[in-house]
Amino acid sequence: MALPWKLHGDGKDVGAAEIVLPGERLTWPRTIGLGLQHVVAMFGATFLVPLLTGFPPSTTLLFSGIGTILFLLITGNRLPSYLGSSFAFIVPIVAATKADGMPSALFGIVSTGILLAVVGLIVVGTGTGWIDRLMPPIVAGAIVALIGFNLAPAAKNNFMQAPVTALVTLAAVILCTVLFKGLLGRLSIFLGVAVGYVFAVIVGQVNFDAVAKAAWLGFPQFTFPANPLTDPGATWGVLPAFIPVVLVLIAENVGHIRGVAQLTDPSVNRLTGRALFADGVATTIAGFFGGSGTTTYGENIGVMAATRVYSTAAYWVAGTFAVLLGLSPKVGAVINTIPAGVLGGVTTALYGLIGVIGVKIWLDNKVDFTNPVNQFTAATALIIGIGDFTLNVGQLTFNGIALGAIAAIVVYHVMNSIATLRGTNGPPRATPPATPPATADAIESGRDGSNPVDSTH
């Protein structure tokens, strides 16, 4: 069977004003090299999620690769994207695992994936207009920002376990961002972790016993979700913490698609419903077998922007290679040796940048903060998220992210509706068309690919 890509030019060179479209490819050696570059770009963020949540890294990597391949199939091989671990899941996973164990968290991931898939099917039939109305930039930015800032205590706890190692790691992340250009600059999180890890090895904070015992090839650890029929307390009770993640995943996917469409072909926007459905399916399958939820990755948008190669062939290579990494227990064991100090350093920057990305959504869309509706929407949601307000209703627990996301949506729409009816929202002011929150991708990736020296995680 003939492969679906046609060769771009001679397959070797891409002119300064040219791009390689999703349905095109370069020569296979070059395509394989680009695919491996995508693996490097996603790796730093994807392996951090299992480290921070206690999930098996090999399992997460395996289903990251499988999810990417499913995404390409479901979107008809027309939308280049890598599905890596979503940082939006960190807080609810940690909370659910601490309370009721890993199977409880996996039930939350599966439920989130199913809901996202349903949203995708709805979008296939109705379009994305209702999403834009439900989550205008002020709401989307607030939800993204409060997720990052809510994670601050977790970063502090790891940082204080080994402050010197954490400081070395943080300094390496910051310096690599501005010292290097192109791809290396985009990989500052990965490089910072590498520098911190080497330092930790030197000072004796890393134990390699588990690495020596691990096999080179083998299946990763599989864990299944809790059963809602036999254990309702460990299943339905976690949903309030996971449901708001769907809003973030929607924003990430829509932003990713619009970013690719802007640089390749506007018709790509028609794939929004399929993309949401594909990410929902990938997240559901990952959660069912013990992996973390997935999302489209901004790091890989950055790689495409830098190389001008949007070929889906490179993503098939990346997905396949991630599957192979997931089938190596040795790789998972190495990842598990990364000490708390390194994690504390990298997440101090990472979680703060997630919060700042929410602010960037406001700036990119020129949100009017002289408008009291916008002021109270952002202020209320952020304080609830940062303070980690908690509400218990029977067996259901609503954490700061859940309550903050709900507050952002409710406060905005209630205030805006009343102000419009009462005429208290002031004279209309001209505003430019809203830019889709492409930077929401950076919840996972920490960047939107728009800056030559990308902000990393």
Question: What is each CA distance from 154 to 91, 149, 197, 443, in whole angstroms?
Answer: 9, 10, 19, 16
Helix, strand and coil percent figures for the chain, each rounded to 5:
70, 5, 25
Is the per-residue pLDDT at 46 higher than 90?
no
Write down the mean pLDDT value for the chain.
Answer: 85
Measured in whole angstroms, the distance separating CA 301 from the mean position of its chain's CA atoms is 12
Nearest partner of 109 among 63, 44, 43, 157, judged by Cα: 63
Q: What is the pLDDT of residues 207-232, one digit of tens each?
A: 898 888 888 989 999 999 999 888 88
Q: How do residues 130-189 score in pLDDT, each as one tens digit?
A: 888 888 989 988 988 888 888 888 889 889 999 999 999 999 989 988 888 765 666 777
The backbone torsions φ and ψ at residue 143, rounded to the nearest 5 degrees and listed phi first, read -65, -45
pLDDT greater than 90 at residue 202: yes
Residue pair 77/22 in contact (Cβ under 8 Å)? The answer is yes
Q: Quote the strand ranges of 115-176, DSSP E.
A: none
- Per residue in 86-118, pLDDT tens? 888 988 898 899 888 999 999 999 999 999 999
What pLDDT sits at residue 141? 87
**CA-CA-CA-CA dihedral for 35, 223, 338, 328, to nearest 10:** -50
Give SS3 for 313.
helix
Instruction: For residues 26-54, give the mean pLDDT.
Output: 84
pLDDT of residue 40: 74
The pLDDT value recorded for residue 182 is: 63
Task: Report how far Cα 341 is from the mean position of its chain's Cα atoms.
Answer: 23
The tokens describing 4, both together, are 């679906």
pTM of this prediction? 0.78
Rounded Cα gap, residues 92 and 125, in angstroms: 31
Q: Given a cut of 80, is residue 1 above it in pLDDT?
A: no
State the maximum Cα–Cα separation within the chain, in Å, rounded to a whole number.
Answer: 70
Higher per-residue pLDDT: 211 or 71: 71
